[in-house]
């Protein structure tokens, strides 16, 4: 009889402990305003016969600290993105180009290095939101190309946020603000790039690449996207934060 009572008491205490831990984690997640993180870089390198790195592919991203469901959700998304990046067509093409240049001594100089790389900069980390500016560059002996984009997450839920969640105003106002900023950005002296403007106007709100900074949301267009050569284009609108 005593053994049964002891077992029941033990089970009760275990259940209470689990509930307290779960409640504490949920309370912590609900109170998070800033994320603690470490930066990680997944990479592969291609070396010449002298051991010098002549080609590199890498993807940099933060690993959010903590045991909350939101932290795990964000980390899983970024880990999955990195894995896909390291195996995509551009990564495979860079490998082929780098290995061919190494085998045939096809580099322009002794210091030249081919790369397909994405650097990450945390541009906002407050109000339970973290935003990442991802800068992707490609070079394999020809023209340098760049793509800027972002990831923005809710630190309480772990959900990926959309432009409408962080830009100031309702969807219609946000689109109008983008077009106004684009018109200003694309006007130089008396010249106005209408073709690029029309492309920006044709995009849906959910399709704009962006990242968040204090007071601003940066709208990004990659090399050649606006028909303006290999340069890249970034301008900002007002944010909610």
Average pLDDT, integer, range 154-166: 98
pTM as predicted: 0.85
Q: How many CB atoms lie within 10 A of CB 139?
A: 17
Q: Each residue of 29-51: pLDDT tens digit?
A: 456 799 999 999 999 999 999 99
Eight-class DSSP state of 127: T
Q: Each residue of 125-143: pLDDT tens digit?
A: 999 999 999 999 999 998 8
For residue 28, what pLDDT is reported? Answer: 43
Distance CA 184, CA 176 (A): 12
Query: Could you tell me where the DSSP H helices lie in the chain?
Result: 2-31, 69-86, 89-104, 163-166, 171-185, 194-202
Q: Each residue of 79-124: pLDDT tens digit?
A: 999 999 999 999 999 999 999 999 999 999 999 999 999 999 999 9
Per-residue pLDDT for 16 more than 50?
no
């Amino acid at each position: 009889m005593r053994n049964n009572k002891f077992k029941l008491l033990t089970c009760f205490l275990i259940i209470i402990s689990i509930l307290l831990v779960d409640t504490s984690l949920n309370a912590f997640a609900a109170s998070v305003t800033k994320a603690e993180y470490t930066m990680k870089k997944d990479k592969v390198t291609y070396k010449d016969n002298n051991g010098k790195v002549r080609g590199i592919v890498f993807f940099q991203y933060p690993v959010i600290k903590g045991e909350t469901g939101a932290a795990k959700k964000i980390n899983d998304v970024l880990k999955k993105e990195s894995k896909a990046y390291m195996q995509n067509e551009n990564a495979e093409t860079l490998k082929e180009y780098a290995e061919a240049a190494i085998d045939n001594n096809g580099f322009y100089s002794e210091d030249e290095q081919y790369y397909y790389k994405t650097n990450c900069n945390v541009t906002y980390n407050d109000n339970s939101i973290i935003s990442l500016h991802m800068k992707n560059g490609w070079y394999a002996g020809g023209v340098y190309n760049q793509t800027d984009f972002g990831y923005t997450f809710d630190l309480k839920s772990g959900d990926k946020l959309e432009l409408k969640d962080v830009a100031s105003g309702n969807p219609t106002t946000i689109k109008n603000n983008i077009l106004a900023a684009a018109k200003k950005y694309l006007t130089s002296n008396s010249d106005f790039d209408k073709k690029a403007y029309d492309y920006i106007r044709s995009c849906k709100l959910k399709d704009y690449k962006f990242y968040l900074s204090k007071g601003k949301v940066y709208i990004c267009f990659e090399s050649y996207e606006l028909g303006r050569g290999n340069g890249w284009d970034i301008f900002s609108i007002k944010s909610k934060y």
